[in-house]
Amino acid sequence: MSELIEVTVPLGGGRDYPVLVGDGALESLPDLVPDHARRVAVVTQSGIGIDVEPGVEHRVFTIGDGEPAKTTATVADLCSEFARWGLTRSDCVVGVGGGLVTDVAGFAAAVYHRGIPVVHCATTLLGQIDAAIGGKTGVNLPEGKNLVGAYWQPRGVICDTATLASLPPREWRCGLGELAKYHWLGGGRLDELDLPERVAACVAIKADVVASDEREGGRRALLNYGHTLAHSLETVGHHDLRHGEAVAIGLVFAAELARDLGRIDDAAVAEHRRVVSGYDLPVEVPAGLDTDELVAVMGRDKKVLGEGLTFVLDGPTGVEVVPGVDASAVRATLARFRGESGPEGRAET
């Protein structure tokens, strides 16, 4: 095991926890399991193929693949299986996998016996730099993503960067979409760092934001930069688009919208396109999606505050939450962004 980078999520009140980053970090799992735990429920997916040793009796519970598995029914099934095995509130859940696994495992831990300890072992780039850190857990409804969930902070997070070597190219790109957003959240030239340092830099940014706004009352919403359109794209239509790819499109769209609202100039939009394209990520909305339906789903986004739509947008002082964006302005930008002509926007030239 190489020397690990440890980043602390400083929540205060005795709730601080470590995020361990580096090759071989999974060997540290027993150190994060509570001393009083007799059993550990390991939640994972069949395709993950990573065995963990938590140091106490444990059993593996496998959930389904893809967004169809991210439901309240999956959480209910897990809790029933925990109960049948005899898991108690003194025991622990360990999530091993990507963001879907840690979201589901974390939510199950939050509601089982009204809350038992959880440790996340993130095995994807997306999970390591974003999804596993910060205590947000949740599942989807037919009406939208992550509409049911809880804030439940883990005891610790393990980001073993050796697990990323076997990621399929699409899964790697999924993480790159989230990585790209950190360029506007203080990350700077992340592409100049080696992999463990890059992951740790993103974790440090997220840890700082989470510590200042644990329950997304304000600043934490900045971590959703690019996500308003992204979640809408993931909810609407049947297209082959991964989360990080949707975020990449959402980042460029957010820049276009910010320019149309007079917040940034053409050069800032070009910089968004340069960074996103530099990661070989898409910048165009898939064909065949209905603009009105996309905007309607944006209106159900969990960030919405008051009248109008709420976006995270770049501006003169950097990225910030902007409530009250008129839906007609969003439609006009979206129409132009998609190269449509007509009353809502001009075709791109």
For residues 43 and 60, what is the distance between their CA atoms, to the nearest angstrom?
6
pLDDT surpasses 70 at 140: yes
Residue range 215-244, pLDDT digits in tens: 877 788 899 999 999 989 988 876 788 889
Q: Does domain 225-337 have CATH number 2.30.30.90?
A: no
What's the chain's average pLDDT?
Answer: 92
* pLDDT tens-place string over residues 19-41: 999 999 999 999 999 999 999 99
Of the pLDDT bands very low, low, confident and very high (cuts 50, 70, 90), residue 343 is very low
Residue 301 above 50 pLDDT?
yes
Q: pLDDT confidence of 287, banded at 50, 70, 90? A: confident
Domains 5-212 and 225-337 share a fold: no
More confident residue, 174 or 107: 107
Q: Which tokens in the block code for residue 336?
A: 């132009």
* Residues paired with 118 in a beta bridge: 93
Look at residue 174 in the predicted model and tell me its pLDDT.
Answer: 87
Least confident of 43-47, 189-193, 291-295: 189-193
User: How far apart, in whole angstroms, are the C-alpha atoms of residue 119 and residue 42?
Assistant: 10
DSSP string, 133-175: SSSEEEEEETTEEEEEEEE---SEEEE-GGGGGG--HHHHHHH
Phi, psi of 200 (to 5 degrees): -65, -35
Q: What distance lies between CA 334 and its chain's CA centroid?
A: 23
At the topology level, CATH places domain 5-212 in: Rossmann fold (3.40.50)
Taking the C-alpha atoms of residue 225 and residue 258, their distance in angstroms, rounded to an integer, is 12
- Compute the average pLDDT of residues 234-257: 90
107 pLDDT exceeds 50?
yes
Task: Sketch the domain layout of the chain as residue ranges.
Answer: 5-212, 225-337
What digits encode the pLDDT tens for the residues 201-216? 999 999 999 999 998 7
Of residues 144 and 137, the one with the higher pLDDT is 137
Question: Which residues fall within 8 angstroms of residue 73, CB to CB, at 6 or more apart?
Answer: none
State how far the Cα of 205 lies from the Cα of 258, in Å rounded to an integer.
23
Inter-residue contact 111 to 79 (CB < 8 Å): yes
Higher pLDDT, 327 or 299: 327
The mean per-residue pLDDT over the stretch 93-97 comes to: 98
What is the pLDDT at residue 56? Answer: 98
Least confident of 69-73, 84-88, 131-135, 184-188: 184-188
Once rounded to an integer, what is the mean pLDDT over residues 114-130? Answer: 97
Please give the pLDDT value at position 190: 85
